Amino acid sequence: MGVLTTVFAFLLVLGPLVVIHELGHYLVGRFFGVKADAFSVGFGKELAGWTDRRGTRWKLCALPLGGYVQFAGDMNPASASDAGASEAPAEQRGQMFQFKPLWQRALIVFAGPLTNLLLCVAIFAAFTMAYGNRVVEPVIADFAENSVAQEAGLKVGDRITSIDGETVGDVQDLERYILLHPEGRVPVGLEREGRDMTLPVEIAAREIDDGFGKTARIGDLGVSFDQPIVAGFTSDSAAKDAGFEVGDRISGIEGQDVTSFHDVIDLVQPRAGETLRFTVERDGAELDMPVTVRAAMRPGADGAEESVGMIGVEARVGRLVPVGPVAAVGIGFARSFDMLDDMVTGLRQIIFGERSVKELGGPIKIAQASGQQFSLGWENFVAFAAFISINLAFINLLPIPGLDGGHLAFYAAEWVRRKPLDGRSQEWAIRTGVVFLLALMVFVTVNDIVSLPIFGG
């Protein structure tokens, strides 16, 4: 993947998200009658721009790592108030940000992160409406080798209902918890043959590769939920010729119970040329269907071609449920808030030393990931944009002076004190916050650089 492609993908992600964020501030400010002196995408030297009839300077700047709206009365892009603004004529003060009521200022500041959140919701809702909502029942179909769940006493057919006290509605709920908690002993609630029980399980940690040379440490239970449901057929499919249909669930082969597609593979591959009796569940009925297994050639463990049995079916994990607009928006909000919750958990783990600071990513890692997702197609790229958008919302809501969350903290203090902090205190707080943010930016950038392959990362 070329450097130009990576840079292009990075700008294609970050540019629109910055514009959307700042448009949130700008539009709500304009609604409340606040004049914007500048709307900038990027920082530093202006590369191009124009001034509209309201006197707002719209500009593109050299450093494309953010942006800002500078309202009338702001001393700088960090929205520090200009001490001389109070001497301006009353008509001008009416257009200045700092002279607006507290609730209006809070809404203007909050509008930026909120817009990023709503964009993430919109993307998830659109995907859900277009493709349906995939629901995977948390019923164990199989175990991996050396599965910690199997060692703890869980069995095929158990339905996991909770983990560490958190309710598990589907596999996504379970995976969210497990992925973020490598190692640790947790109680797992389950339902077995109509009985509720709880077993303690020691979560295992493992390293995964994203396919682009990057690894991550995640938790693992060693369980599989891939129910043997037919999702489609290959060309020259023996199962299709025998009368199988999409949605059929294979429950048995030659009298042996089948709980996962691993079972199907294990029972079919050694039986090329034989006619096997399949038990299939369809619309609540159980059918017996004979299938003559066809032979196919594939590379063996030693690299030589070998003949294996195939019936020509494609697996499906879970079921797709059609979703209407209202339900899709609800799912979009749920998934967005789940991501926010995951970010809070991850940040807490880094702060308390449960995760390495190497997992923090800066602009270089974001650029790399942008290029990688761009190479995988527009669906992956748009989903990645949703992830970055919710990250921008989260980061900007942190109570650090200089960020939106810092300004909201000032307004909370003003609401409690019934008067604002003095200008000097706010100015020094913002300067300190900006220094902290710059130091953090330098740290994550260095962290990104040392993780590059040329440095052995």
Residue type, 116: N
Say which DSSP state 422 is in. P
Helix (H) or strand (E) holding 39: strand 36-51
CB-CB contact of 443 with 413 (8 Å): no
Nearest Cα to Cα of residue 360 among 444, 439, 437, 440: 444
**290 CB neighbour count, 10 Å cutoff:** 10
CB neighbour list of residue 119: distance below 8 Å, 6 or more residues apart: 17, 20, 386, 389
Q: Which helix (H) or strand (E) holds 295?
A: strand 294-299
Angle at 428 between CA 423 and CA 434, to 5 degrees: 125
Please state the separation of Cα 447 from the chain's center in Å.
22
Q: Which helix (H) or strand (E) holds 195?
A: strand 195-202
| 71 SS3 class | strand
Please list the active-site residues: 22
DSSP characters over 159-184: EEEEETTEE-SSHHHHHHHHHH--S-
Closest CA to 401 of 83, 79, 65: 79
DSSP letters spanning 358-407? GG---HHHHHHHHHHHHHT-HHHHHHHHHHHHHHHHHHHTSS-BTBHHHH
Find, among 123, 140, 117, the residue nearest to 188 by Cα: 140
Q: Please, which residues bridge with residue 257 across strands? A: 252
- Tell me which residue has tokens 């040392």: 450
Give the DSSP letter of residue 81. B
Cross-strand bridge partners of residue 124: none
